[in-house]
Structures are given as C-alpha cells and as structure tokens.
Structure 1
C-alpha cells in the first residue's frame, strides 16, 4: 500500500484504487479498491498506523448501489430537486441523483478521504456535486429556498447501534418536515424494525471480503416521520 502519514487524499486515492463500475450501476465509474489492490486487504490497525481512517469510500456498498439503481430507474424521485447525499462515502448515490436530473446535489462526509473520493468520482462522471466535510446529524433542514433539501439519501448507515439510532432519529425529523428520505440497506443489524416503507429490493453482487455472502438483498426504504413510525 502506497500510503504515508499526511499524504494528500486525492493522491492516495488515485494510487490505491482503480476506476471501475459497481455491479448494479454500470452507468457510473468510481475509484474503487479491488482484490488486486493492497488497500482491499489492509486492516484497520495497518491503516491507523499510517494515519488513515477505514476506507469505506473505496467500496460500493450494497445499500448505496440499490439507492443509485433506484434513482437511475426512477429519475422522477429527484428530477429538478435539491438532494443531500448523507454519509456519502464514494458519492455513488449523489452521482446517480445528478445523472437522474437533480437540480443540485450536496454530498456530506466526516472523513476527509471520503470527501476527496466524492470530488474525484464526480469529476470522473462529469457531474457537479458540492462536497462538505462536516457532521450534520441533528442539523435542521435549511430554510427554503437557500440550501434546502428536497430529498435526502442515506446508504448503509445502520451498522453500529449508537450511530444508527442517532442518524435514524435525525432522518425521521427531516421526513417530518416534508423531505423525502430514502434509505438503502442490505439488512444491517441496526436497521429500524418500524417506520420504514419498503419501495424496492435488488440483488447486489458483493465480495466475501466485505460481506458474508456473494449476493446481498438490498432494499430501498422510505423513512417515515416519527409520528407515523410510532
């Protein structure tokens, strides 16, 4: 692996990934790690020793692929609308939204490498996405029309209990304010058991290095407001 402490994120991403299309979304190309790239096999300990966070941005996770596929097949969900790609990772969902005709897309991440990956991947697909590095969970939807979100996308965010509970509560609040909130998830442990409307499911090819199966059933859910969920 060619990483060193303090390395420029864009340079690191270019050196440790390849431009590839996710299995379910061949219309999009992303900087991804593969079995032939050492980043694929690096442990969290090895990354931490080099001053690097886990490279969640380097893989097209099943929930994000399902969301992207849904948007490309149903562009009316985002056409002409202002979209937030929350915990964007590679930026796949936001790129798909832009390709589907979204008026604007904002990708938000807390990881600087993921933010850099979003910028690189947007450029690779010739779409314009605003990228922000910030923890926005708990923040209100900005007042319309300035920076207001009509649609919020969240893929693969329910893998740790404290984070999932905090995020889902926030997403329900956004839904209660009239925002369409779409959640992509392949059956993660902390996916809520209530307050979700199933929209569609896809079989997503995965790797056993990442998941416990070669195929995951990923579902696109509509998040309901708290009052509806109760």
Structure 2
C-alpha cells in the first residue's frame, strides 16, 4: 500500500511539472531582478528551503483563487537556466478594483543535499486601472495624493454597514491586497469619509484610525 501511495505521489508531481512547463514561454536570458515594473520580494538567505522545488514556491500559490471571485486564474512556468531554474507565477482575477493580478518571477537553485532553495523573487502588479508606478498600481501620482489627515471630510458622517458577526477592515491602500491597518465594528458611526477615492475605495477616518475602505460597506448616518 505504501509503494502504491508513493507511486501516485510521484505521478502527480510529474503531471504538475509537465503543466508548469507548458504554461508559457520564458526567455533564457530573463532575470528576476527589479525593473520592468517588478519590485523585489525580500527572501532571507537559507530560509526558503524545501525538499521539492514545487514546495519552495508553494507559499506564492496558496490562497488563490479567492472564493468570492468567479474568474480567478493561475499560470506557472519553470525553466532550467544556467545555475538554477527560472520560475514565473501569474495570478489573475483578484477581487480588487485596482489590482487585476500579480506576476511573480524568481530563481530556485538545487542544493548539494538534494534540497531546493528560493534564491530571489520579485513581483509586478497587473493593474486593472491606472499605471504600474514603482511596483504599485496608481491612478494618481504619489506627489499629487493628499492624506486624509490634511483635508476636510467630503460629507456627513457614515456608519459601518456590515453583519453583526463581521468587521470592516481599514487598509493601507485602495484594495484587498493592501495590509490591514485597523478595523471597525458593525454599526460604528461618525466615520469621516473623504473625497480621495479609487473606484469604490475611499479614505476614511474614525477617532485615531485612518485608512481605505470599500464604500459599499458604509451607509449615511440617520
């Protein structure tokens, strides 16, 4: 029984690798360094190591596609190059007004002990709107942006309109791919809404917390 399981596991890996190589062509002189709209993803030396090559890049594949969306896609390509393997991962269909997806590009090398190590990785946002500026999708140049703390609210206070067992996350930027900087409980009112928006995402402030929220989860105060 053990041998059969091992055989199935090896066959599955073989099919997965075959799919990777068939995804899309990659130039042999392509490099995953910053540039071409890519920005570096920090990889601590000696930490991104696994027994299998696929396991090394697995963290970049997990969590996609998101369950809420119906058009998520994924493309993978691994190509042998001098000294290692060039890896391309393209994730699309993000549930985000600005960011359509991301393109990861990295290098994986074999180690003397038969393990594999992720040597470097970079990422380029695939913008649904705006332009890729310094590795971030922006519809307005950073020099022209105004922080919420420096402007007057655009209208009357708003209330958080989410289910009682949920919270509304405030994010560092306009979209779910930006990290959470705070959260507001259901029914929280006197939320200041600012006229600084990208799509459905706008800057808000409540007490000492400020960030970006999807305005479909806000309702005017009565």
Give the TM-score normalised by the residue count of structure 1. 0.22
Of Structure 1 and Structure 2, which has the larger fraction of its residues in helix? 1
More strand by share: 2
Give me the TM-score of the superposition, normalised by structure 2.
0.23
Per chain length, whose mean CA-contact separation is higher, i.e. which structure has more relative contact order (CA < 8 Å, sep 6+)? 1
Greater C-alpha radius of gyration: 2
